[in-house]
């Protein structure tokens, strides 16, 4: 990873560096942070001669040689100073709340508009809504592209950014063309490297944020973080990690709650962690406790399914969506806990 002395390289400097790395079979990938651009060397960057030539350039501050399977996502990476912001929240400075229906019902758009208004009212910063749904049963409702218009109308009505899952490149293109602000990669696609790369490529020059769920059977944390590296390696560092429970589940829960991995992730990566308690426990009655546990473990945010009338919803909503009142209580308690974990810094004089 190349860190220039200035905030970014000029085109002449970039061309000179690109020429050097190409002589050693590598290429260059700029990663545009909020303040500074850094330059990842893609390929085998262990060649001493290449490193020496790069280090010798007077406009290069230093070269980071992070020996990590995920050199961009690594806590020691220069990207660690990057802050992701969405819905008026900078992650790490305030608890981010993403809330809304599991699934948008194209036959009942009114529900989604009411849910969107209600979750905004209760303090959510981003509205989630499933347009295309990964369903275990091939005969279950698979989602409908028409719901994309409903999602974007909810954005216009509330002014809040929206989050939707994409499962293939056509959905990705549709979502980006419509202006979806947060792309969700679901548990079933968490290791779909061609989708992760396609997303990374498509959002390289945008501010789009990716919410990367943890795979249902995903074991090692390095695997989870490496999946994020796929997206970030194309140049947009806005990736949030989302534990959402794994298999097998204890009797009674949908999945094995895994919010406890939050501190372990934070030891390895700078990426913010937003926990999804809804899919983790899979039942509305258990969601609030799981949400609070996530905050206790250090989560930067929560992604919670909510519906104005869960019983009238589709997909996961009848069983696991919180009502607006339930969401309000959960957000309030989570914010109290978050504040306990993040006491305001005392000024030097105090
Ligand atoms: C969802 O968010 O509705 C969903 C299907 O999530 P996951 O991919 O975590 O199962
Ligand atoms: Mn769901």
Would you give the distance in Å from CA 146 to the centre of its chain?
Answer: 24
At 18-53, the pLDDT tens digits run 999 999 999 999 998 878 899 999 888 888 899 999
Mutate to test the pocket of ligand 1, among 210, 244, 307 (most ligand atoms within 8 A of CB): 244
Residue 319 burial by CB count (10 A; 0-12/13-18/19+): exposed, middle or buried?
middle
As a whole number, mean pLDDT of residues 75-95 equals 95
pLDDT of residue 34: 76
pLDDT at 347: 67
Contact in structure between 7 and 35 (CB atoms under 8 Å):
yes
Ligand 1 pocket test, pick from 101, 126, 134, 317 with the greatest ligand atom count within 8 Å of Cβ, gives: 134
Sheet bearing 60-63, strands edge to edge: 27-32, 37-42, 2-4, 60-63
Rounded to an integer, the average pLDDT of 252-262 is: 98
- Measured from the CA of 186, which atom of ligand 1 is nearest? 8
pLDDT at residue number 348: 58
Q: What is the dihedral of CA 138, 144, 148, 154, to 10 degrees?
A: -90
- pLDDT exceeds cutoff 80 at 350: no
Instruction: State residue 17's pLDDT score.
Output: 96
Q: Is the CB of 254 under 6 A from ligand 1?
A: no
Cα separation, 309 vs 303, in Å, equals 18
Residues 6+ apart with CB under 8 A from 156: none
Average pLDDT over residues 219-225: 93
Q: pLDDT tens-digit profile of 90-110?
A: 999 999 999 999 999 999 999
- Could you tell me the distance, in angstroms and rounded to a whole number, from the CA of residue 299 to the centre of ligand 1? 18
Report the DSSP beta bridge partners of residue 246. Answer: 256
187 CB near ligand 1 (under 6 Å): yes
What number is the average pLDDT over the span 207-229?
Answer: 94
Q: Which residue has the higher pLDDT, 78 or 190?
A: 190
Handedness of CA 298, 299, 300, 306 (dihedral sign): negative
Could you give the 3-state DSSP secondary structure of residue 28? strand
| Ligand 1 in reach of 190 Cβ (< 6 A) | no
CB of 134 closer than 6 angstroms to any ligand 1 atom: yes
Q: Give yes or no for residue 223 having a pLDDT over 70.
A: yes
Alpha carbon nearest to ligand 1 atom 6, residue: 186
Res 23: pLDDT? 96
Q: To which H or E segment does residue 31 belong?
A: strand 27-32
Q: Give the pLDDT score at 157.
A: 98
* Beta-bridge partner residues of 305: 100
Per-residue pLDDT tens over the stretch 283-322: 999 999 999 999 999 999 999 999 999 999 999 999 999 9
**Cβ-contact 5, 70 below 8 angstroms:** no
Which residue reads 């290429």 in tokens?
27
Ligand nearest to the CA of 164: 1
Q: Give yes or no for residue 257 having a pLDDT over 80.
A: yes
Q: What is the torsion angle, in degrees rounded to the nearest 10, for the CA atoms of residue 312, residue 316, residue 319 and residue 321?
A: -80
Cα 12 to the center of its chain, rounded Å? 34
Answer whether 186 contacts ligand 1 (Cβ < 6 A). yes
Q: According to the model, what pLDDT value does residue 66 have?
A: 75
* Ligand 1 contact, 279 CB (< 6 A): yes
pLDDT of residue 212: 98
Which H, E and C letters describe 77-118, residue by residue?
A: CHHHHCCCEECCEEECCECEEEEEEEECCCCCHHHHHHHHHH
């Amino acid at each position: 990873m190349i860190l220039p002395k200035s905030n970014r390289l000029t085109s002449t400097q970039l061309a000179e560096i690109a020429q050097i790395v190409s002589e050693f079979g590598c290429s260059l990938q700029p990663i545009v942070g909020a303040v500074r651009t850094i330059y990842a060397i893609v390929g085998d960057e262990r060649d001493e001669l290449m490193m020496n030539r790069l280090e010798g350039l007077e406009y290069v501050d230093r070269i980071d040689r992070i020996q990590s399977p995920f050199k961009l996502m690594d806590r020691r990476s220069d990207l660690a100073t990057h802050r992701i912001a969405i819905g008026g929240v900078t992650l790490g400075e305030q608890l981010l709340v993403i809330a809304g229906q599991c699934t948008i019902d194209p036959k009942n758009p009114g529900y989604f508009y009411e849910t969107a208004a209600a979750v905004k009212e209760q303090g959510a910063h981003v509205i989630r809504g499933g347009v295309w749904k990964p369903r275990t049963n091939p005969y279950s409702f698979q989602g409908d592209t028409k719901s994309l218009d409903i999602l974007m109308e909810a954005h216009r009505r509330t002014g809040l950014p929206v989050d939707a899952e994409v499962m293939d490149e056509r959905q990705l293109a549709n979502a980006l063309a419509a202006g979806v602000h947060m792309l969700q990669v679901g548990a079933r696609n968490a290791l779909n490297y061609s989708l992760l790369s396609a997303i990374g490529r498509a959002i390289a020059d945008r501010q789009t944020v990716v919410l990367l769920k943890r795979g249902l059977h995903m074991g090692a944390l390095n695997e989870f973080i490496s999946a994020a590296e796929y997206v970030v390696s194309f140049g947009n560092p806005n990736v949030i990690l989302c534990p959402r429970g794994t298999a097998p589940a204890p009797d009674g829960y949908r999945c094995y709650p895994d919010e406890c991995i939050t501190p372990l992730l934070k030891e390895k990566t700078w990426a913010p962690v937003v926990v999804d308690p809804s899919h983790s426990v899979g039942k509305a009655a258990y969601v609030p406790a799981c949400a609070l546990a996530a905050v206790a473990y250090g989560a930067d945010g929560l992604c919670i399914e909510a519906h104005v009338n869960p019983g009238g919803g589709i997909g996961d909503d009848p069983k696991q969506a919180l009502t607006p009142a339930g969401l309000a209580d959960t957000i309030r308690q989570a914010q109290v806990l978050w504040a306990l974990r993040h006491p305001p810094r005392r000024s030097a004089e105090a």
